[in-house]
Structure 1
C-alpha cells in the first residue's frame, strides 16, 4: 500500500473509531506500565536488602559495592517515579466536577508551599478576587495541577524572588495567573514544555506539565505560558463559569 492509499484510508476512518483506538492504546500502555512497575518494585526491595547484607564486607570492597547498589537504587526510584506519573497521565479520563472556589483551591496550594518559599527567600504575593464566581471543579486533581505549577515556579527561582498569584473574572469565565521572577525560558523550551517526556530537569519524568494541562482541559479550561529570559515566566489558566453558577453568584 502506498502513502497516498494509507492517507486516503486514514481520512475515511470514523472519528469515533479513531478515538476508541487511542483509548485502547492508552489502556494497553497503562497495563504495560503497571506490569513493569511490579517487578521493578521487587528489584528495588532486593537492592535495599542486598545493601544491608553488604555492610558485613571489608571496608574497601564494601564501599565500592554499596556505591554500585546505590546507583541501581537511584535508577529504580527514577523508573518508579516515571511509571507513577505515566499511569496518572494514561488513566486521566473524565472526572466528576462540582461547584467550588478557585480561590480556595490555590490558597490551599500556596499554604502547603509557604515553608519552602520562605526557605528559598521567595515571597508569595496574593491578589485573589474576593468576588470571583464559582467554577465546576474536582478538588484533588485540580490541586495536583496547581501544586505542579507552583512547585515548578519555586524551583525556578533558586536565587529567591516573588511569585505573584492573581485571580480575575473574564468575559468567558475566570482566570488564574502565576507569575514568577525567575530566569525565564528559551522559546524552544516553551514550545515543547507540554509534550510528554520532555524535561529540562535532571531525572525529571517530563509528565508533570502534560498532566497539569490534561487536568485543566478536563475542567473545560486551558493553559497558556509566556516567558522571557531574565524576567520570568507567566502561566495563565482559564476556566469557564457555567451560566447557572454565574447567575447564582450575582
Structure 2
C-alpha cells in the first residue's frame, strides 16, 4: 500500500522527505479521483448521489494545479494561477468537482506535449463562480468542438472519450454550465460556471 511505501522508503533528509510526502499525497488524491471517475462512468446516465457541502473553489483549483504540476514541469508547460483573495464558495460534491477540474487540466496538458502555457482563473460574476482553464495547445477543429462533450467521442487516437462527457455531467448535476472555445494552433479555453453561495447562506 502507499502507506507502506511511505514508511519503508521515505528519504532520511528533511527536504527530500517533504517532497516524497507531497508526491505520495498527490498519488493518493489521484487514486481517489480515478475511483470517482470509474464510479461516474459506471453510473453514467443515472441520477447522481452528491455529497453536498460548502466548497471553496480556490482550494479545489490549488489542489488540481498541485496534481498536474509534475506533468507540466516534465512537458515544459508554464502554469499561471489567477484567483480571488477571499473564499469563493459553491455548494457541491467536493471530490466530483475536483475530478471535473482535474479532467479539464489534464486535457489541457495533453494538448501541449512540447510546452506551452496553462492559465487557471476564478472570478465571480452575476451570482456565479466562473472557473476557466486555458491552454496554448494545438486547438480543436470546429466540427470536433460540437461533439466534444458527447460520450465516446475523442480527438485523440487513444482513450475512450468519456472524460469530458463525465465532466459535463458533473457540472450539469451541480446546476452549472460548461462551454469551450478553441482556435487551431492557438489554444482552447474551458469555462465552468456554478451557482455561488450567497453571503447570507
> Any residues of structure 2 matched to 1:71-82 within 5 Å, and which?
none
Residue aligned with 2:200, SS: helix
TM-score (norm 2): 0.76
> How far apart, CA to CA, are the structure 2 residues paired with 1:114 and 1:210?
24
> How far apart, CA to CA, are the structure 2 residues paired with 1:93 and 1:138?
10
Match of 2:85 in 1: 130
- Residue segments in structure 2 that go unaligned for 5+ positions in a row: 1-37
The answer as to 2:200 corresponding to 1:247 is yes
> How far apart, CA to CA, are the structure 1 residues paired with 2:140 and 2:113?
14
- Asked whether the equivalents of residues 198 and 206 of structure 1 are also in contact (C-alpha less than 8 Å), the reply is yes
> Any residues of structure 2 matched to 1:1-250 within 5 Å, and which?
86-91=41-46, 93-243=48-198, 246-247=199-200
C-alpha deviations, 1:109-162, integer Å up to 9, x for none?
110111100000001100011134311121111111111110000010112000
> How far apart, CA to CA, are the structure 2 residues paired with 1:154 and 1:85?
22
Over the aligned positions, Cα root-mean-square deviation in angstroms equals 1.7
- Asked whether the equivalents of residues 85 and 207 of structure 1 are also in contact (C-alpha less than 8 Å), the reply is no
Flag the structure with higher strand content. 2
Shift of 1:89: 2.4
- Asked whether the equivalents of residues 165 and 177 of structure 1 are also in contact (C-alpha less than 8 Å), the reply is yes
Moved over 3 A (4+): 83-86
Shift of 1:228: 0.6
Flag the structure with higher helix content. 1
TM-score (norm 1): 0.62
Shift of 1:203: 2.8
Change (3 A) 1:219 1:84: closer
Change (3 A) 1:93 1:124: same
C-alpha deviations, 1:197-248, integer Å up to 9, x for none?
11122231111101001011111211000001121000110010243xx235
Shift of 1:86: 3.5
- Asked whether the equivalents of residues 58 and 88 of structure 2 are also in contact (C-alpha less than 8 Å), the reply is no
C-alpha deviations, 1:29-71, integer Å up to 9, x for none?
xxxxxxxxxxxxxxxxxxxxxxxxxxxxxxxxxxxxxxxxxxx
